[in-house]
Amino acid sequence: MRKLYLDKVRALVMRGMSEADLLSRLRDSIVNLDFDGSKNLAQEAISKGVPANEIISKGISAAMEEVGRKFEASEYFLSELIVAGEISKEITQMLQPYLKGAEVKKIGKVVIGTVKGDLHDIGKNILGMMLESAGFEVIDLGSDVSAEAFVEAVEKNKPDIVGMSALLTVTMVEMESTINALKKAGLRDKVKVIVGGAPITEDYAKRIGADAYGKDAVMGVEICKGWVKGRS
């Protein structure tokens, strides 16, 4: 009974909010990892006619930037990143019908995948969610991705960036194999390559010819944003 009453009060409060207030509350709700509250605020923004791209840029993207800052400051950890990413993903799915026909400008395109022989994908998935929240189009090839599959995806999708992940030391060599395959196909100079994962180091990234090493998803997103900003 009390919950029903509180829900009604919240609904009345939300209906009286301006667009800016709604988006600010949505951002804060995602940052505070309030799953239900975030979905309710997003739905209220939709019902008020707030453009879907505004909800994404000023609500979701702004929230994930703040979550990233908290992660870098050790205020949030991997679990919080996952929860915030899942909230953002669900709200984005809610917005899909309203994005059709809308002009939603993507800041760049990224192909990501976990390299051949490696089935670990948690880090890759978090990176993908955060890249999407930051405004990138993400083509996720999944895990156990061969060098040939990366090359094919680059030929087909013409991305700005290729991101590779590995958790097993025995699969690290597949990153170099993929970079070499991109060179052989004449595609290496057309994309930036970022690598990451538990066994990867900055020295290793340089040794295999990658453009950057992302020690975590937050840093990876910042590097990718810097690259596309530099191209604009």
pLDDT digits (tens, 9 = 90+) for 161-203: 999 999 999 999 999 999 999 999 999 999 999 999 989 999 9
Q: What was the pLDDT predicted at 129?
A: 87
Token pair listed for 132? 């999407």
Alpha-carbon span 94 to 75, nearest angstrom: 29
Percent above pLDDT 90 for the chain: 62
Angle between helix 2-15 and helix 35-47 axes, rounded to 10 deg: 40
**pTM assigned to the model:** 0.77
Alpha-carbon span 115 to 210, nearest angstrom: 14
Alpha-carbon torsion angle 153, 156, 158, 162, nearest 10: 0
Mean pLDDT, residues 19-44 taken together = 94
Q: Which residues pair with 196 in a beta bridge?
A: 165
Tell whether domain 108-231 is in CATH 3.40.630.30: no
Q: In a 3-state reduction of DSSP, which class is residue 120?
A: coil
Q: Which CATH number fits domain 2-99: 1.20.1250.20, 1.10.1240.10, 2.20.25.10, 3.30.70.1710?
A: 1.10.1240.10
DSSP codes, 20-68 = HHHHHHHHHHHHTT-HHHHHHHHHHHHHTT--HHHIIIIIIIHHHHHHH
Domain ranges of the chain: 2-99, 108-231
pLDDT digits (tens, 9 = 90+) for 53-63: 889 888 998 99
Q: In a 3-state reduction of DSSP, which class is residue 134?
A: coil
- 9 pLDDT band, cuts 50/70/90, is very low
Cα 28–chain centre separation = 18
Q: What was the pLDDT predicted at 102?
A: 57
